[in-house]
Chains A and B, each alone.
Chain A
Amino acid sequence: MEQAGWILDEEQWKAWAGSLPASGCRVIAPARGPRGEAAFTKTDDADQIARGYPGKTQMSPKEFLFPRSETLFEFRLAGNTVTLVRPPRSDNKQVLIGLRPCDAAGLRRLDEVFLQDPADEAYEHRRNQTVVIVEACTEATPSCFCTAVGGSPGGTEGADLHVTRLGGSGRILLRAITQTGSELASAASASWARATEADFAEAGDQAEAVSSSIRRQPLPARTPELLEGSFEAPEWEVVASACIGCGICTYACPSCSCFDIADTGGAACGSRCRSWDSCAFGEFTKHASGHNPRPKQSARYRQRLMHKFAYFPSQHAGQLMCVGCGRCIDLCPAGIDIHQAVLALAGAARAAHRGADEGVPV
C-alpha cells in the first residue's frame, strides 16, 4: 500500500501543530513537570506543542482517556425520590500529541477493556473525540523494552498521525495512519511536500537504530503459556520479595485499567466516582467478610504479571497487556524490574518443562 506522508520543516510543523488549540482542539502535549520530569499537560503554547522531548514522560498519557477519578453521576434524594445527574460531556476534539509508540499501544490495550461489549460510554465518548499523534523515539532509556514485547520505537499501533524527526536535519516526516489522522492534517497537508520512499526508509533506519540500542532480551516464545503453567512456581516469592504493595506500577502503566467505584457525600446528596485502583493493594480483592483470595503480596504481584503476560494474551490472540514502556521499572520504590521478573518466571518454567521432557528429576 502506498504510504501517505509529508515532509515538513520545523516552521511548517510548528505552524500546523501550534494552531491546533486555535482550531478548537484540546491539546495535550509533553511539558516539564514540577521536578523537571516530562509530563503530559493540557497546553495552548505552540512552542511546547511542537518542541518534542527526549525519552518518555514519567506518567503515561492514559489519564486523558481514563481519568484518575471520574464522576459517574451525582445523586440527590428528596423524600423517596432520587435524581441522578450525569456530568456534562465535552464535545471538543482532544489531540494527544507527542505520545511514544508504547504510549499509543497502551491506549489500544485500554480500548480492549473499555470498548468491549458493552462499551464503557464515558470512555467511548472521549475515545471518539481523541486523535493520537505519535512521535517516534529518538533514543531508548535504560528501562525501555518495547522490542521485547513486540513493539518498536517507530511503531504506529494506536497512532492516527505519526511523526519522525529525521535525525538532525530539521525535517519532520508526518504520516497519516488513519482516516482520522488524515482529516486532522487535511487543512494544511496540501501545502506540504510529499514524502518520498527515501524519507520512509530513513525513518525506518532511524527506528531500527533505536531498536538495536535496546539491550533488553526479547521474551521467550510462548511466554503466556509458560507463565500460565507457573502459577505455583516458587520464583514468584523471589521476584516479589521486595514489593512493598504500593500502586505506583499500576498507576504509571499505560495499559493498567483497574478501577474502584465509590460514593462520596451523604445519604441526601453526593456523587459516585470511579478512580484508579491497583491489584497491588491488599484491599483490592478483600471480601466484606474479611476473606481475601490474595492474602500475600507475592500473590498480588503474580496477578499483575499474569494478567499482563498470560490471562490477557490468552483472551486477545496472544497480545500482551504490557507495551514495554518501562515506567514501572523507573518508578518502583523497591527497584523491581518487570522485564527481568517475566524472564525469570518464563525461564524457570521452560527449565522445568525441559527437565520434565528429559526425565530429569525435578
Chain B
Amino acid sequence: MSKVAPAGSGYQTAGEWAPRIVAFTCNWCSYSGADMAGTARLTYPANVRIVRMLCSGRMDPLFALKAFEEGADGVLVSGCHPGDCHYVQGNLYARRRLEIFADLMELLGLDPRRLHFAWVSASEGVKWSELIGRVTRSVLEAGPNGEWLSAPTAEFSSAKLPEPGPPPRTAPTRDANAATTSHLRQLARRLLEEGEVSRVIGYAEGAQSDQMVPAFVETPEDAERLVWNERCYANLANYAVHRSGGATALIAKTCDAKSIAGLLRENQLRRDEVVVVGVSCSGIWHGDRLAAKCYGCDEDVSPLADWTVGPDGTARGSIPAAGRDTSPDPRDAALEALSSLPPDERLAFWQGEFDRCIRCYACRAVCPMCYCDTCITDKHRPQWISAPQSGPGNTSWNVVRAMHLAGRCSDCDECARVCPSGIRLDLINRSLAQGIKRKYGTMVSADPAVKTALTTYRPDDAGRFV
C-alpha cells in the first residue's frame, strides 16, 4: 500500500479522489493528543477533519450517519482510555453503544474498514499519528463512499432468505380460547365492578375476520366484547400511557408485559396506574404461520402480572405459561443467511428494504418504547434525518430507530407486523438483541428494576476500541 504522505497532503490515488475521514474526538484526551502530534511535528495524512466533542459519550450514531451521508469515506471516534474519562464513565457508555452501532452497520453491509474506534490520551501524540495513518490506509482500501453507504455493487435476491419458519400449517383452533375468553370477561367485569380499575384495555372482534382490534372497556356490561385468541396481535402497552382518571387493566401477552416493564423502568407509567392481566398465551398466528417471536418465547406469564388468565381459570399473580413451540426462531436462520453473504450483497438487501420505506412512521407509532414528545426525525434544527422518502433519509431513519431501541426493544415485533412495506425490522431488532446478549449477557428484562444493557457498563467490556 502507499506510504505515509507528507504533512499537509492527503493520500491520493491515481485519480482525484482522496479519502475524507471525519474524526469525532473527546476534547480532554484525543483532541489534545492530536494537538500534541502537531506540536511534536509528527507527520500523518491530512485526510482527517476533526469534530471536537466534550466526551466520546456524546457520540450519537447519528453523527456518523450524517458524516457518511454528507460524503465522508470513513469515521473515527476517539475518546479517553477506560478509567480516564473526565466525566468518570462517559467513554464506557460510549464503548457499549458504539459497539452495538458498529454491529448494526456491519449487518447492514457497511464496509467495516470505514468505521474506527480508538482510545487516545492527551499525551499519545505518537499513537494519534499512527492511528490516523492506519485509519486512512484502511479507508483508502475501502475506496470512495460515492453514495450513501456506497451504492451496492451486488444484487440481492430475496430468494436467498430462508422461509420464515416451519412450513405453513393450519393455526390451532383452540377450544381453550373460548375458556380463556370467558375467564377474561369475568375478571374484567369484576375489576370494573369493584372499581379496582376504570377501564380494561383488551381485544375485541374487528371488522376483518383475522384481526382482533384494541378494545377499551369502561363498563362491566361492555366486558362481553372482550375476546382472547391466537389473532390478538397488538401490543396494548402503548394505550395505558397518559391516561388519567383511575387505573387501567391491560391484557398483556408475555412479550407485551416486557413493554410494560420498559415503560415502568423509564418512568412513562406508574405501577399504580396499571393492573397487568397476563394471559396464558400459546403463541399468536399470522395466517398459517406462528409468529416468529413466539418461537423464542420460553418465559412464563410475566412476573409483572397482577392476574393471570388462562383456560383453567383466573389466578392472582403470575402462573406458568402454556406449552411453547420449541423450534428455533426463524429470524435466526434468516440472520445467519444474511451474515453469510458478502457485505455488498448484504448492503444490496438492506438498501432494497429501506428503499421501500414510505416514512409512515407506523413502526414508531406502534412501538411502546418510542414515546418521545418530538421524534428526532421531526427535529429541523438541524435536520438530522432528511425529509425525502428515499435514499439517505430512509437509511438514517431505519438505523436511528433501531439504535434508539437497542437494548430496550421488548421483542414484541409490532413494528415488523405493521410495516406496510414489509421491511425486515424484526431482523434488525433481533440482531441487535442477540448481539447484546452475546456481548453483555443480558436480554431486556421483565423486571423494571433491571437496567437495560446500554444504560450500564462493565469496566472490562470488550469492544472495537483500540
Contact = CB atoms under 8 A, between A and B. Distances in A.
Interface of A: 33-35, 37, 58-59, 68-69, 71, 142-143, 238, 241-242, 244-248, 250-252, 260, 262, 264, 273, 275-276, 278, 281, 283, 329-331, 333-337, 339-340
Contacts of B310: none
Contacts of B383: 262, 264
A292 B425 CA distance: 32
Given A245-B365, A276-B359, A335-B208, 13 more contacts: A34-B356, A68-B390, A69-B388, A242-B216, A248-B418, A262-B380, A262-B383, A262-B386, A276-B358, A329-B207, A333-B414, A334-B234, A337-B206
B158 A34 contact: yes
A241 B216 contact: yes
B337 to A, nearest CB: 16
Nearest to B358: A251
Q: Is the interface of B mostly helix, strand, loop or mixed?
A: loop
A276 B359 CA distance: 9
Contact of A275 (B206, B362, B387, B417): B387
Given A34-B158, A273-B388, A333-B365, A248 B208 contact: no
B386 A278 contact: no
Contact of B211 (A37, A247, A335, A340): A335
A26 to B, nearest CB: 18
A154 to B, nearest CB: 24
Interface string B373-396: 010001010010011111001000
B209 interface: yes
A37 B238 CA distance: 29
Contacts of A273: 387-388
Contacts of B365: 244-246, 333
A281 B361 contact: yes
B366 interface: yes
28 contacts: A34-B158, A34-B356, A34-B422, A68-B389, A142-B208, A242-B213, A246-B361, A246-B365, A247-B359, A247-B360, A248-B418, A250-B360, A260-B387, A264-B383, A264-B386, A264-B387, A275-B388, A329-B207, A330-B208, A331-B420, A333-B362, A333-B418, A334-B213, A334-B234, A335-B207, A335-B212, A335-B213, A339-B207
A335 to B, nearest CB: 3
Contacts of B238: 244
B210 to A, nearest CB: 9
B385 to A, nearest CB: 10
A36 B224 CA distance: 37
A234 B206 CA distance: 21
A301 to B, nearest CB: 13
Nearest to A252: B420
Interface in B195-221: 206-209, 211-214, 216
B229 to A, nearest CB: 14
A281 B359 CA distance: 11
Given A59-B420, A248-B360, A333 B234 contact: yes
Contacts of A34: 158, 352, 356, 422
Interface string B438-457: 00000000000000000000
Contacts of B158: 34
B288 to A, nearest CB: 13
Contacts of B380: 262
Nearest to A340: B207
Contacts, number: 108
Contacts of A71: 388
Interface in B63-82: none
6 A-B pairs closest in CB distance: A335-B213, A246-B362, A333-B418, A262-B387, A246-B365, A69-B388
B356 A248 contact: no
B206 A278 contact: no
A264 B360 CA distance: 19
A328 to B, nearest CB: 10
A297 to B, nearest CB: 10
A337 B360 contact: no
A335 B206 contact: yes
B143 to A, nearest CB: 24
B58 interface: no
Contacts of A336: 213
Nearest to A33: B422
Given A35-B422, A68-B390, A246-B366, A275 B214 contact: no
Contacts of B378: 283
B364 interface: yes
Nearest to A333: B418
Contacts of B387: 69, 260, 262, 264, 273, 275
Nearest to A250: B360
Contacts of A251: 358, 360, 420
B208 A276 contact: no
Given A246-B366, A333-B418, A278 B389 contact: no
Contact of A246 (B207, B352, B360, B374): B360
Interface string B340-362: 00000000000010001011111
A6 B352 CA distance: 41
Nearest to A264: B386
B117 to A, nearest CB: 28
Nearest to B238: A244
B224 to A, nearest CB: 17
Contact of A333 (B356, B417, B422): B417
Contacts of A340: 207
Given A248-B418, A333-B234, A335-B206, A68 B358 contact: yes
B358 A335 contact: no
A275 B208 contact: no
Contacts of A283: 374, 378
Given A273-B388, A333-B234, A246 B358 contact: no
B208 A329 contact: yes
